């Protein structure tokens, strides 16, 4: 218990510090789903379907870009995060886009919502920071019957990405760990169904361009944000690389573990 509390406090402090450094005009709301390189978010959004009038929880909402976009699609969005400074940013962002977010500071393993309250739960890069079993129980609890949850998460198997992670310690927490397929299966065991789709194989060459050509220090620049911010500039390169990804992931599925990210979809 003591160790879990210490981990939660480290996560809170790290993300509060990050939130204090954010300029509201730097946040990418529409781009996070509409950039040519935002393929995981686009896929995740398609799994949710029509959001108009639906109750959606953005789990670990961070600065609120995803929550605001979901609200722009007509959803009734609640958003929670462990870091109170992130919630302040999310509140300001919601005002900028003239949408309403129901914000709450909460740990994802102890959510302040009623049983069966949400049609959908969405999370981007949250599960690899938290206790998976506690989170799975809470997500299952707050979902309506047949409700669906979609999460975008990193995988741990690609040695090139692991080298990047080693170099990017300044923009990562000490406790975060990418999800293994075993952990994903265990998480899915709390639901009636689980499926997942992998993304970014050869497309990761863009990260190489960031490092070797743009000379961006991975310990100071968050590549996973830059790839959205620079999406238009890299659109042609990305489309060409995506053709390779589509071909090899279809005909050589044993390569899927080498992808950067996975999108997992569970249903209650």
Extents of the domains making up the chain:
2-267
111 and 40 Cβ atoms separated by less than 8 Å? no
Confidence at residue 182, expressed as pLDDT on a 0 to 100 scale: 98
What whole-number percentage of the chain has pLDDT above 70? 100
Distance, CA of 199 to CA of 238 (rounded, Å)? 12
pLDDT band at 16 (very low <50, low <70, confident <90, very high): confident
Confidence at residue 87, expressed as pLDDT on a 0 to 100 scale: 98
From residue 142, alpha-carbon distances to 24, 39, 81, 115, 119 in Å are 31, 27, 16, 5, 9
Q: 2-267 — its CATH code? A: 3.40.50.150
pLDDT surpasses 80 at 24? yes
22 and 85 Cβ atoms separated by less than 8 Å? no
The string over 177-186, giving b where at least 16 C-beta atoms fall within 10 Å of a residue's C-beta and e elsewhere, is ebbebebbee
pLDDT band at 204 (very low <50, low <70, confident <90, very high): very high
Among candidate residues 242, 235, 172, the one with its CA nearest the CA of residue 204: 242
Among candidate residues 257, 266, 250, 126, the one with its CA nearest the CA of residue 180: 257
Q: What count of residues does the chain have?
A: 268
How do residues 85-94 score in pLDDT, each as one tens digit? Answer: 999 999 999 9
pLDDT band at 8 (very low <50, low <70, confident <90, very high): confident
pLDDT surpasses 70 at 13? yes
Start-to-end Cα distance in the chain: 28
Residues 6+ apart with CB under 8 A from 178: 128, 153, 154, 155, 156, 165
91 and 101 Cβ atoms separated by less than 8 Å? yes
How do residues 221-267 score in pLDDT, each as one tens digit? Answer: 999 899 999 999 999 999 999 999 999 999 999 999 999 999 999 99
What whole-number percentage of the chain has pLDDT above 90? 88
Q: What is the mean pLDDT of residues 98-114?
A: 96
Q: What is the mean pLDDT of residues 119-133?
A: 97
Pairing mode, if any, of strands 143-154 and 261-267?
antiparallel
How do residues 129-163 score in pLDDT, each as one tens digit? Answer: 999 999 999 999 999 999 999 999 999 999 999 99
49 and 211 Cβ atoms separated by less than 8 Å? no
Q: What is the mean pLDDT of residues 116-139?
A: 97
Mean of the per-residue pLDDT values of the chain:
96
Confidence at residue 19, expressed as pLDDT on a 0 to 100 scale: 87
Confidence at residue 172, expressed as pLDDT on a 0 to 100 scale: 87
pLDDT band at 1 (very low <50, low <70, confident <90, very high): low
């Amino acid at each position: 218990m003591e160790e879990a509390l210490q981990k939660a406090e480290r996560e809170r402090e790290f993300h509060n510090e990050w939130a204090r450094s954010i300029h509201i005009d730097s946040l990418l709301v529409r781009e996070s789903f509409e950039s040519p390189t935002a393929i995981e978010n686009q896929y995740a959004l398609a799994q949710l379907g029509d959001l108009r009038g639906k109750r959606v929880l953005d789990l670990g909402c961070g600065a609120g870009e995803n929550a605001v976009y979901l609200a722009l699609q007509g959803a009734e969005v609640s958003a929670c995060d462990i870091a109170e400074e992130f919630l302040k940013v999310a509140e300001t962002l919601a005002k900028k886009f003239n949408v309403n977010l129901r914000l709450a500071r909460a740990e994802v393993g102890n959510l302040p919502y009623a049983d069966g309250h949400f049609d959908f739960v969405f999370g981007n890069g949250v599960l690899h920071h938290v206790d998976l079993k506690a989170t799975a129980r809470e997500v299952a609890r707050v979902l309506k019957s047949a409700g669906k949850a979609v999460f975008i998460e990193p995988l741990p198997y690609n040695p090139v990405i692991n080298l990047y992670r080693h170099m990017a310690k300044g923009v990562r927490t000490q406790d975060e760990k990418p999800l293994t397929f075993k952990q994903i299966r265990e998480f899915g065991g709390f639901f009636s169904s689980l499926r997942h789709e992998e993304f970014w194989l050869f497309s990761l060459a863009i990260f190489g361009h960031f490092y070797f050509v743009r000379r961006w220090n991975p310990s100071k620049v968050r590549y996973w944000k830059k790839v959205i911010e620079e999406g238009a500039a890299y659109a042609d390169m990305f489309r060409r690389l995506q053709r390779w990804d589509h071909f090899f992931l279809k005909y050589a599925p044993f390569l899927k573990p080498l992808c950067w990210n996975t999108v997992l979809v569970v249903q209650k």
